[in-house]
Amino acid sequence: MKKFLARQRQDGFFTLRLKSAAGKLSATQLLAIHNLAEKFGAGFVNLTSRQEISVPFVREENFDAMKNFCAENDLKISPLGTIFKQVTACQGTQSCPAGIIDAPKIAGELERFHGGQEFPNKITCAVTGCPNNCMKVEANDIGVKGFVEPKFFAENCVHCGACEKICRVGAIKVDRAKKLWMIARYKCVGCGRCVKVCKNSALEGSVGLKIFFAGKDFFPPVQEDELYKIFYAALKIFSDHAKPRERLGKMLERLGTDDFKEKIRAAGNF
């Protein structure tokens, strides 16, 4: 019971948490949650920071009945403890104009591979579709962010300066008189706005994924298949080397980031 019911400060009451698919629930599921809260709770729900639905004021003795109700209504109970927590995600390319990657799809795959696995301490993970970073991936143990690397084709450039004007971080400079195009790669946040505004095919975007461990990005942007390999390797290192109740960031401080990177490369053959 303790693995699925969070104890409340009110004596005898618990909270049941339900998963969502990157914040997405069907109207049918929402109606079922309404009925669940009315039947077993206090008639209301809370939203958690991990895009879960929290049903407070339930009783421990009703857990089996609630479990059966959830199974019958396509609702997934979110477990507690030192596990790989529900992956949070924005809507990415599914609906957001700024989206670079299909964040819910990637979050769903990570959830399918690792969701609920036990570790020395909990692992939080977020996937954000673009550098707007709505999901604040650096605040998680592991984060994934969509990234567009602009590739320049000089033969197509008319040096109009549209890309320079739209760049929000001042990474691009265009000298129309000298017919020069320059980019400061260290400034580029990978939003892809310059690629979208170019009407002459002088810029082409290479879409990738940036991975953050405890707020730091150690690797250049990778492709989706590489992402899953890195995740598997990183989680295995955490499982094998973290002390009990030690968070990923603390383990990195103890092991050193160079050692961590080498272990990932060795485990994943990168």
Specify the pLDDT at position 269: 65
Residues of the chain with confidence (pLDDT) below 70: 1-2, 267-270
DSSP structural state of residue 38 = H
Q: How far apart are CA 206 and CA 112, in angstroms?
A: 27
Token pair, residue 36, equals 């669940």
Specify the pLDDT at position 1: 44
Give 84: exposed, middle or buried? Use CB within 10 Å, 0-12, 13-18, 19+.
Answer: buried
Could you tell me if 75 and 167 are in contact, meaning their C-beta atoms sit under 8 angstroms apart? no
Could you tell me if 99 and 136 are in contact, meaning their C-beta atoms sit under 8 angstroms apart? no
Q: How many CB atoms lie within 10 A of CB 168?
A: 10
Q: How far apart are CA 161 and CA 182, in angstroms?
A: 11
Could you tell me if 131 and 189 are in contact, meaning their C-beta atoms sit under 8 angstroms apart? yes
**Three-state SS string across 179-244, please?**
CEEEECCCCCCCCCHHHHHCCCCCEEEEEEEEEEECCECCCCCECHHHHHHHHHHHHHHHHHHCCC
DSSP structural state of residue 102 = -
Is 258 strand, coil or helix? helix
User: Which structural domains are found in the chain, ordered by start?
Assistant: 5-72 (3.30.70.3340), 88-146+207-268 (3.30.413.10), 148-206 (3.30.70.20)
pTM: 0.92
